[in-house]
Structure 1
């Protein structure tokens, strides 16, 4: 059992849906990023997705691309992202942290070294968007052997033939991408998402969390009503980009979390 498994068991026992928040590590700089991340649990965040800055984030829209550029420009690295997670762990030993990003920085560090360091920093799961199931031996299987969840994306184009392959070694939760395209590109519609979530849940007991295109408390609630929870990223990152005070950012996050938790 990982912290992610424990969190879903806790939420399930309470009859609540999950709220997952994504922020880019090191955006706009290390200290400010850490301040925001430290405040997320008290704002109602159940699981933290920490973006791993990368120069070519192909699945991300402009908002998150610019966040990666700001973070990299401020000197954020893979090591500093692990340092940020470790700093967070000094005050919070229960909220799960998922690193979300691309394989190149992990490959450059070396998979074995990365997994040891990530585990030591308190990372609980990985979402690596450019590693398909056919490459599971590369990182997915070693990560699970190291005690970390490997979370896979399913999309509107993941048909019934492909779905079993996607689910094969997925653990923690399935991240359903509610729209075709990049992050922040369109709004999710619960009426479109509901049958897709049901189709995935018919094939797995793992929780299905929906992300992409969720940017208001009302949308967060509507999507959580048809899934096991919601993920919000671009809308939060946009608040950071605007330079809003941490207190305002966290108040916005709390409104989104309240939406999901009221579903």
Structure 2
């Protein structure tokens, strides 16, 4: 496939000698308008790549914080079609920042896979992470995505052994997402030494960037992960920042966008501190 925004962004960061900061936010949380404001604020706050969660009623890999964010979004009327509209709204002012949609296959299947991929490409989506589609189902969505120039990004986990890893990597593009813990999102802190070792093992099998997520919540954790990986993903901490900014009725306040962008700025500083800048 042709070079994507994701490829270009990681190449640029590599030349700068630093890891990528990847932010995860839930589409439509806490409401469509505020969600778009949050998205637009992320690049200036320090996000290099943006993952947007596609709300789903049965998110088996998500911890309590991300589940709650999805439920808030669904309650506010978020749909997959509205998520693509959110991407279009972001793209109207930003044609450079890579956008990755992350979620589950059921909403895409209901939408119609081929139609979804065509609409996603038109909206400006660069990549997909679909956590419940294994490599054995690549014909279902992965290969059609690649045909349309959309990166299909796979998850590798602490239980992905040497025999399984080649299957995970076979049709992966953009980057590899390493899940730093076993279990659901945002519930435990990663073991930095184990993560660094796992990233090194994966990189012996692929030239793709390896980014690390699940459990990273603080600038210090982000810095430690960034020292040994090509990127750091933070999600649960950001959706918790949304939740903590809402009023008693669960509605956005004047401080909601700043609660997220301020935390992103702090975390971005951590990521940038984690790897020294390349020599001039």
TM range (shorter): over 0.9
Please, which of 224, 233, 236 is the counterpart of residue 234 of structure 1?
Answer: 236
State the Cα distance separating 1:256 from its structure 2 match. 0.5
Aligned to 1:258: 269
Please, which of 30, 33, 41 is the counterpart of residue 32 of structure 2?
Answer: 30
Q: Does 1:246 align with 2:257?
A: yes
Distance in 2 (CA, whole Å) between partners of 1:20 and 1:38 is 14
Q: Which consecutive residues of structure 2, in runs of 5 or more, have no partner in the other structure?
A: 246-254, 275-280
Aligned to 2:251: none
State the Cα distance separating 1:126 from its structure 2 match. 0.1
Aligned to 1:45: 47
Given that 2:242 and 2:259 are in contact with CA atoms closer than 8 Å, whether structure 1 keeps it comes out as no
Q: 1:122-161 residue pairs with structure 2 within 5 A?
A: 122-161=124-163
Aligned to 2:278: none
Aligned to 2:212: 210
Distance in 2 (CA, whole Å) between partners of 1:119 and 1:188 is 34
Q: Secondary structure at the match of 2:125?
A: coil
Q: Secondary structure at the match of 1:242?
A: helix
Q: Which consecutive residues of structure 1, in runs of 5 or more, have no partner in the other structure?
A: none
Aligned to 2:79: 77
Alignment length, in residue pairs? 263
State the Cα distance separating 1:189 from its structure 2 match. 2.1
Q: Secondary structure at the match of 2:90?
A: helix
Given that 1:190 and 1:226 are in contact with CA atoms closer than 8 Å, whether structure 2 keeps it comes out as no
Distance in 2 (CA, whole Å) between partners of 1:174 and 1:101 is 16
TM-score calculated relative to the size of structure 2: 0.93
Please, which of 78, 88, 110 is the counterpart of residue 112 of structure 2?
Answer: 110
State the Cα distance separating 1:5 from its structure 2 match. 0.2
Distance in 1 (CA, whole Å) between partners of 2:155 and 2:42 is 23
Aligned to 1:7: 9
Distance in 1 (CA, whole Å) between partners of 2:104 and 2:229 is 26
Distance in 1 (CA, whole Å) between partners of 2:229 and 2:16 is 16
Aligned to 1:101: 103
Q: Aligned-pair RMSD on alpha carbons?
A: 0.7
Q: Secondary structure at the match of 2:12?
A: helix
Aligned to 1:224: 226
Distance in 2 (CA, whole Å) between partners of 1:14 and 1:145 is 30
State the Cα distance separating 1:245 from its structure 2 match. 2.8
Task: List structure 1 segments (4+ residues) > 3 angstroms apart after TM superposition.
Answer: none
Distance in 2 (CA, whole Å) between partners of 1:62 and 1:213 is 12
Q: 1:160-171 residue pairs with structure 2 within 5 A?
A: 160-171=162-173
Distance in 1 (CA, whole Å) between partners of 2:230 and 2:215 is 16
Distance in 2 (CA, whole Å) between partners of 1:242 and 1:120 is 34
